Structure formats: structure tokens, C-alpha cells
């Protein structure tokens, strides 16, 4: 049974549409304080709610969780005693930790990223079909009244499917807010007239996909919705590819690795972020994997400062 504190934290992050990692202990070898089935949640800052082992294990869980959250790929973390080292296997990373008491632990790290939010303005049959099929594709679908709707940063797409009701205000607000995909379901003639009537700059008008969707030849609400969602998938994939090319040209590797530091006592790699143990020494921050390393450093800082 999952600890209520962990379940509440997971629910809180889901409601806030924040990404997190669900860390589950799948195997242990004594001596270890964790047990198979123990679960924790690691948020985007590296803060851990729940228990998956002592502070030495937490240091590795924190580091690998943030990397998994960046990549979006799950990974099996295998923490073993021994000299500092790391071996990457297919789907798994084996980390050696000199601070362990002799046991070992395997933790499955599963990143949970909020689904892209797609807003559909309208309640006609095609709008209902969009909501149904989009949910099957894994999108967070929302049906709204176009007159009353106001976008926020969570919106990935706005599809106007009101057949003349509340389309203009929804389209204008989506364009002004920079919603990545803006589509209008209409005929060629009506779509052009609606776009021409929008109270926005010509540059923004050109961003409206109308008639929205890839022409598959179907005429039923479900077939039209399928074409619109196919276009949305295509546009989003193209935008990701363009961004990756820009990042590569600028010398930025994707995904970006979390900032790390080396524990000066045991030489473990740790995340250089607020949840990690640290002290200020001679004007710089020193990071540690566990309280024992921090205590040893504070007793003899000159020995480890280098």
C-alpha cells in the first residue's frame, strides 16, 4: 500500500501539471533499510517524498530521477556498494556507492510528464469526437465555450469547432497568447472569412490552420476529428524536430543534464540543488551525498577542500 503522504504529493503534482518521477524499489539485498515495494515521488527540484533507502541511496535516486525526467525515459537504477563508479546497461544504470553499508538496491524510475492540453471550443458532434479520440491518443482534452474561454501557459492547442459559435474570440485569444497550434474546422470559404475577420495582425492570422486537419476523405464527425488530430500530431512532431536542430546548431545537447557536483569526501556525484545536503565554505557551496560525509568535511575542511 502506497504511503498516503506519497499519494497526496503525487496527486498535488498532477493537479499542478508538474512533471515528477515515481521511484519504486523492486529488489533489495541485505543489509538495507528499504524493502521491495517502497515508493517515493521525486519532483522537478529533486525533492523526495517517501522512502526508497537511506541518504546515500537518495543521492543517486535524486540524480538519476532528474535525468529521467529530462529524457522522458524510464530507467532501472541499480545501487551497489564499492568504489565510486557507474556502468550503463541497456535500460539500466549501475551506480557504485562507497557509503553503503554492504547491501544493494534496485529502484525503477518512471517519469510522469503531464499530457499535452488540447482545448476544443464548441460542443458540436465533431467537438465531441475530438474529445473522445484525443483522449485515446493521450492528450488532455477540454471542451470549452469559446466566448468565455481564456488560455494559459498549459495549452498546447486550440481547435475551434463551434460551427460559427464563439470561434472568433477563442481564435484571437489563442493567437495572442502564442498557443502553438491553432485550428479552425470550417469549409475553405467560411474559414477564410473567419480568419479575415479576426482582430489580430496579419502575421498571427497566418498561423491559423483552416480548414483544420489532413484531408482523409471522410465526412463523419469522427473522420473529421481524426484528420485534425493527425495534423496536430504532425505539427507537434515537426516543431520538436526544428527545435532539436536549433539546439544542435547552438551546441546545446538534448536533453539537458541536471547540474551536478562531486561530494569531496566520498567522491559520489550528487545533484547540486537545494534538496541535496550542502554547506557554505570559503565562499562556495559544497555538496554531499549523506550526513556522514558532511560531518567528516566539517571536522577537517582543509583536508577535503581541494
Q: Is residue 254 pLDDT above 50, yes or no?
A: no
Q: What is the pLDDT of residue 290?
A: 78
Residue 211 near residue 184, CB atoms below 8 Å: yes
Mean pLDDT in the chain? Answer: 88
Max CA pair span of the chain: 78
Torsion of CA 178, 237, 259, 265, to 10 degrees: 150
Model confidence pLDDT, tens digit, residues 10-62 = 999 998 889 999 999 999 888 778 899 999 999 998 999 999 888 778 888 99
Q: Is the peptide bond before 211 cis (omega within 30 degrees of 0)?
A: yes
Q: What is the pLDDT of residue 134?
A: 96
Q: What is the pLDDT of residue 247?
A: 56
Residue 47 near residue 40, CB atoms below 8 Å: no
The CATH superfamily label for domain 117-249 reads NAD(P)-binding Rossmann-like Domain (3.40.50.720)
pLDDT over 70 for what percent of the chain? 91
Window from 87-96, 106-115, 150-159, 222-231 with minimum mean pLDDT:
87-96
> From the CB of residue 235, how many other CB atoms can be counted at a distance below 10 Å?
15
Write down the domain spans for the chain: 4-112, 117-249, 260-304
Model confidence pLDDT, tens digit, residues 164-177 = 899 999 999 999 99
Q: Is residue 260 pLDDT above 50, yes or no?
A: yes
With CA atoms as reference, report the closest residue to 99 among 292, 298, 230, 301.
292
Residue 143 near residue 127, CB atoms below 8 Å: yes
Q: What is the pLDDT of residue 255?
A: 46
Q: Is residue 245 pLDDT above 70, yes or no?
A: no
DSSP bridge pairs for 48: 42
Model confidence pLDDT, tens digit, residues 166-207 = 999 999 999 999 999 999 999 999 999 999 999 999 999 999
pLDDT over 90 for what percent of the chain? 54
Model confidence pLDDT, tens digit, residues 220-233 = 999 999 999 999 99
Q: Is residue 144 pLDDT above 60, yes or no?
A: yes
Q: Is the peptide bond before 21 cis (omega within 30 degrees of 0)?
A: no
Which run of H or of E encompasses 85? strand 85-89
With vertex at residue 144, the alpha carbon angle to CA 139 and CA 150, rounded to the nearest 5 degrees, is 95
pLDDT band at residue 269 using 50, 70 and 90 as cut-offs: confident
The C-alpha cell 483544420 sits at: 212
Amino acid at each position: 500500500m502506497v504511503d498516503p503522504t506519497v499519494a497526496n504529493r503525487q496527486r498535488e503534482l498532477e493537479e499542478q501539471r508538474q512533471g515528477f518521477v515515481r521511484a519504486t524499489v523492486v529488489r533489495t539485498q541485505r543489509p538495507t533499510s528499504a524493502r521491495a515495494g517502497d515508493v517515493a515521488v521525486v519532483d522537478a527540484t529533486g525533492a523526495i517524498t517517501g522512502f526508497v533507502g537511506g541518504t546515500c541511496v537518495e543521492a543517486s535516486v535524486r540524480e538519476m530521477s532528474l535525468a529521467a525526467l529530462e529524457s522522458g525515459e524510464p530507467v532501472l537504477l541499480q545501487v551497489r556498494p564499492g568504489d565510486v563508479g557507474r556502468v550503463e546497461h541497456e535500460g539500466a544504470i549501475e551506480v557504485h556507492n562507497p557509503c553503503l553499508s554492504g547491501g544493494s538496491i534496485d529502484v525503477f524510475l518512471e517519469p510522469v510528464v503531464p499530457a499535452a492540453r488540447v482545448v476544443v471550443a464548441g460542443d458540436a458532434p465533431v467537438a465531441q469526437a475530438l474529445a473522445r479520440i484525443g483522449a485515446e491518443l493521450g492528450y488532455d482534452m477540454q471542451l470549452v465555450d469559446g466566448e468565455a474561454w481564456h488560455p494559459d501557459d498549459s495549452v498546447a492547442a486550440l481547435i475551434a469547432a463551434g460551427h460559427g459559435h464563439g470561434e472568433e474570440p477563442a481564435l484571437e485569444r489563442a493567437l495572442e497568447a502564442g498557443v502553438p497550434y491553432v485550428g479552425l474546422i470550417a469549409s475553405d470559404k467560411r474559414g477564410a472569412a473567419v480568419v479575415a475577420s479576426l482582430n489580430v495582425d496579419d502575421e498571427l492570422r497566418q498561423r491559423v490552420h483552416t480548414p483544420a486537419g489532413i484531408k482523409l476523405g471522410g465526412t463523419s464527425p469522427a473522420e473529421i476529428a481524426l484528420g485534425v488530430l493527425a495534423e496536430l500530431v504532425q505539427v507537434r512532431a515537426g516543431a520538436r524536430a526544428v527545435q532539436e536542430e536549433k539546439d544542435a546548431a547552438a551546441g546545446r545537447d538534448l536533453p539537458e543534464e541536471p547540474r551536478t557536483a562531486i561530494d569531496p569526501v566520498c567522491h559520489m556525484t550528487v545533484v547540486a540543488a537545494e534538496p541535496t545536503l550542502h554547506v557554505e565554505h570559503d565562499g562556495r557551496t559544497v555538496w554531499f551525498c549523506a550526513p556522514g560525509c558532511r560531518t567528516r568535511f566539517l571536522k577537517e575542511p582543509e583536508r577535503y577542500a581541494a
